[in-house]
Amino acid sequence: MLAHKRILLVIGGGIAAYKSLDLIRRLKERGASVRVIMTAAAQHFVTPLAAGALSHTKVFTELFDREAEHDIGHIRLSREADLVIVAPATADLMAKMAHGLADDLASAVLLASDKPVLVAPAMNPLMWANPATARNVAQLAADGVAFVGPNAGAMAERGEDGPGRMAEPLEIVAAAETRLAVAGPLTGRHVLVTSGPTHEPIDPVRYIANRSSGKQGHAIAAAAARAGAQVTLVSGPVNLPDPAGVAVRHVETAREMLAAVEAALPADAAIFAAAVADWRAATEAGEKMKKDGQAIPALPLAENPDILATVARLANRRPRLVIGFAAETENVVAYAQVKRLRKGCDWILANDVSPRSGIDGGVMGGDENLIHLISEKGVEHWPRASKAEVAERLVARVATALGPLETLS
């Protein structure tokens, strides 16, 4: 897939830059040609000499370099690429991208580029968690930038742990393949997907949850990415890898999920596959609740926001297509029809999660699904299928409903 593709790799300043040297090799092994831009900060971690030796070409570092501009300037650098990869993407580089700054070669090329961009962030977990970074990431995703990682794990700083590690070179390669493979029916579209359960804390060690595995939502996000969409996946806690070529926002609670969804708008289509907890503990105990000698505690609940209904009723930023799921154990279609109207969404995918569905292991957590698609046109009964097939079918339907991309004439 990468054979004969022209990759422009922007290396930012972070300790993960050493992995970008391996990334150059991996890309070239697959037949891609690689041009490299290094920021000034990047050169504190790896040298242009090393990157040039691996890419077999001159490495670009200066915006105002008379020779380089004469030879191949920043406009040509971005023009002559099929894909731009930013790895590692520092918090600073992403902030510049989100705000359109262009005071060095890397940022100027990124601003001048109309090519697909794939970003592999790497930074300290606190920098990643900072609302400023979250705003920039949301903005970039809305602008059509694809993300891979960051992964959670130990950081270079001793004792630091959490999301912030750059994705591994092979993960970046996989995401690059997805991004390039995809001149598909959803190219140019931003699709937002929620997936998984939510965890609602009771005290520091206990929480309310449900049996959702996230398999269906993740399969939809992956299918939409393969169809060419820019995908933002807002996921509750799941035991699944992040799908390739998808910007994943990890959240715990329903309220965090709503905030991440709102931050990811605008979107052309939003698909709410998450099993959001309807209720949370009205108050979260600051310390672990003790059993010793205490009366059995009451657990007052508070209602969570309905993310689907909130987005479906947005005045300005409502996606054109808002799709919900309805897990029911009886009167599946009738309940789902009522739910479609109550929530104000366009389609509901109703599924029977009762043991009667006949699906081994049940729908929740299992690999299969039995869907009834409810829209204003009526009900469509889909055959029993794997969650991956359901995802493909849904994505194809979304593409048809959105129609061809409106291009400016």
Please give the residue ranges that form the binding site for ligand C5P (CB under 6 A): 194, 254, 272, 274, 276, 304-308, 324-326
Q: Please give the sequence-ordered ranges of beta strands (E in DSSP) within 5-127, or none if there are none.
A: 6-11, 33-38, 59-60, 83-89, 117-121
Residue 44 is classified by DSSP as: G
For 357, the token pair is 């569905």
CB of 124 to ligand C5P, least distance (A): 32
CB of 277 to ligand C5P, least distance (A): 7
For ligand C5P, which is the closer residue by CB, 148 or 326?
A: 326
User: How many whole angstroms separate alpha carbon 164 and alpha carbon 150?
Assistant: 5
For 139, the token pair is 């903005």
* Cβ-based burial of 229 (10 A; exposed 0-12, middle 13-18, buried ≥19): buried
CB of 217 to ligand C5P, least distance (A): 8
Catalytic status, residue 316: no
Q: Do residues 308 and 345 touch, judged by C-beta distance below 8 A? A: yes
CB of 324 to ligand C5P, least distance (A): 3
Distances, alpha carbon 47 to alpha carbons 40, 168, 344, 363, in Å? 10, 20, 55, 52
CB of 254 to ligand C5P, least distance (A): 5
Distances, alpha carbon 239 to alpha carbons 210, 222, 368, in Å? 14, 16, 17
366 phi and psi angles, rounded to 5 deg: -80, -175
For ligand C5P, which is the closer residue by CB, 254 or 321?
A: 254
Q: DSSP letter string over 146-190? A: EE--PEEEE-SSTT-EEEEEPPPHHHHHHHHHHHHH--STTTT-E
From the list 374, 372, 305, 303, the residue with the least C-alpha distance to 338 is 374
User: How many whole angstroms separate alpha carbon 342 and alpha carbon 311?
Assistant: 13
Q: Do residues 60 and 36 touch, judged by C-beta distance below 8 A? A: yes
Q: If you search the block for the tokens 């520091």, which residue do you land on?
A: 204
Q: Do residues 314 and 234 touch, judged by C-beta distance below 8 A? A: no
The catalytic residue among 136, 210, 316, 351 is 210
Helix or strand holding residue 386 (H, E):
strand 385-386
Q: What are the b/e assignments for 152-190, b being 16+ CB within 10 Å?
A: eeebeeeeeeebbbbbbbebbbbbbbbbbebebbbebbb
Q: What is the bridge-based pairing of β-strands 371-375 and 247-250? A: unpaired
User: How many whole angstroms separate alpha carbon 396 and alpha carbon 61?
Assistant: 43
For 349, the token pair is 């995918």
Please identify every residue annotated as catalytic. Answer: 210
